[in-house]
């Protein structure tokens, strides 16, 4: 039922409407890239996302942090245009997502889910080729550009040697890597990832995040692990009960007091070279 709402028009018109196809220089309202302006999403009378504003700058990696149910996944769906906001607006180069259209949106924004599952017998290459669907018209068969994009995505994700392998025989890490390759085949400028490292061992977590941050694509990534967020993100957005409670660089945001406030746990933060490191403390034994 999520899709039915995605097709309803936005609640308000965009501040400015550009001519389709052109990319006008940045102005105050029509900033290039993906922007959420005071978006809210209400489900069954409860506010899941409550007035969040986020501007994704070209090429940066933004980490979404927050406990379970803080609204990270819903915010990502709003940014992808899969869900329509109850209030506020999501714009791509200044145009509201419903005006951009589903197919055109999917040519710009790619998403990777937490856990992809299929019953269909697909090879790695066939999964990656799904990313070309928004680029193809009905009836048309794959073009040379499609083949090139799929090859490049496989290469970039280190999966060229596995192209013919069945999806069902892949490990969890390889499956997520394949989903990222599929996202790259969409040739997006914005990439949204929802806890892509869940269920992966530490080696595959680091491999995956190394791959993601090496891409010249603006990325929003929901993460649970604060240390990984500190290591890989340029900027963090911390959510709690649908609100933004902190925003800034990992060094600014990840403080013991914020961690206490958001997650209700004690932690020590050491500011090493590059990025902060977080060490959680055991709860004091009850007297």
Partner 1 sequence: MSTRHLSTRHLSTRLLLLVAGGLAALLASVAFAVTIGPADISTADVWAAVTAHLGLGESTLPPLRDGIVWNLRMPRTLLAAVCGAGLALCGAVMQSLLRNPLADPFVLGVSSGASTGAVTVVVLGVGGGAVSLSAGAFTGALLSFVLVLVLSHSLGGSTDRVVLSGVAAMQLFSALTSFIVLTSADADTTRAVLFWLLGSLTGAGWGDVLLCTAVLAAVLVVCLGYARTLDAFAFGEEAAAALGVRVARTRLVLLCATALLTATLVSSAGAIGFVGLVLPHATRALTGPGHARLLPVTALAGAIFLVWVDTAARTVIDPQEVPVGVVTSLIGVPAFVAVLYRDRRKT
Q: How far is the CB of 204 from partner 1 (least distance, A)?
A: 20
Q: Single out the residue of 34, 36, 78, 110 in contact with partner 1 (rule: CB under 8 A).
A: 110
H/E stretch holding 43: strand 34-43
- Figure out which of the listed residues 13, 26, 53, 103 binds partner 1, where binding follows CB under 8 A: 103
Which of 31, 47, 130, 206 binds partner 1 (CB under 8 A)? It is 130
Q: Which of residues 148-207 bind partner 1 (CB under 8 A)?
A: 163-164, 168, 186
User: Is 281 among the residues that bind partner 1 (CB under 8 A)?
Assistant: no
- Name which of 179 and 269 has its Cβ closer to partner 1: 179
Nearest to 92 by CA among 101, 83, 111, 84: 101
Contacts of 154 by beta carbon, 8 Å cutoff, 6+ apart: 124, 125, 128, 160, 163, 181
214 binds partner 1, rule: CB under 8 A: no
Residue closer to partner 1 by CB (options 115, 260) is 115
Q: How many CB atoms are located within 10 Å of the residue 45 CB?
A: 5
Nearer to partner 1, 164 or 273 (CB): 164
Q: Report how far apart, in Å, the C-alpha atoms of 211 and of each of 64, 153, 282 are.
A: 18, 12, 33
Tokens 């190394």 correspond to 210
Name, in order, each residue with C-beta under 8 angstroms of 115's C-beta and a sequence gap of 6 or more: 198, 199
Q: Is 277 in the site for partner 1 (CB under 8 A)?
A: no
Pick 2 or 53: Cβ nearer partner 1: 2
| Candidate ranges 30-38, 52-60, 135-143, 255-263; the one touching partner 1 (CB under 8 A) | 135-143
């Amino acid at each position: 039922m999520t899709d039915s709402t995605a097709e309803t028009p936005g609640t308000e018109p965009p501040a400015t409407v550009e001519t389709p196809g052109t990319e006008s220089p940045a102005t105050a309202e029509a900033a290039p890239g993906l922007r959420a302006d005071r978006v809210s999403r209400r489900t069954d009378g409860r506010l899941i996302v409550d007035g969040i504003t986020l501007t994704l700058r070209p090429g940066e990696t933004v980490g979404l942090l927050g406990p379970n149910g803080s609204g990270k996944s819903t915010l990502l769906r709003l940014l992808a245009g899969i869900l329509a906001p109850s209030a506020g607006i999501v714009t791509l180069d200044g145009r509201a997502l419903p005006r951009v259209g589903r197919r055109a949106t999917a040519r710009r924004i790619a998403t990777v889910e937490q856990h992809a599952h299929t019953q269909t017998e697909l090879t790695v290459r066939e999964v990656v080729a799904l990313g070309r669907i928004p680029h193809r018209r009905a009836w048309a068969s794959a073009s040379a550009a499609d083949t090139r994009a799929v090859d490049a995505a496989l290469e970039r994700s280190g999966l060229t040697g596995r192209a013919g392998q069945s999806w069902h025989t892949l490990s969890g890490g390889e499956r997520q890597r394949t989903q990222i390759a599929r996202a790259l085949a969409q040739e997006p400028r914005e990439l949204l990832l929802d806890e892509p490292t869940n269920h992966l061992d530490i080696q595959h977590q680091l491999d995956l995040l190394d791959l993601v941050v090496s891409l010249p694509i603006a990325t929003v990534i929901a993460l649970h692990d604060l240390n990984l967020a500190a290591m890989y993100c340029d900027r963090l957005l911390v959510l709690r009960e649908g609100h933004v409670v902190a925003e800034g660089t990992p060094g600014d945001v990840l403080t013991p007091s914020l961690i206490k406030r958001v997650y209700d746990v004690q932690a020590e933060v050491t500011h090493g070279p590059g990025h902060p490191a977080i060490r959680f403390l055991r709860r004091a034994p009850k007297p």
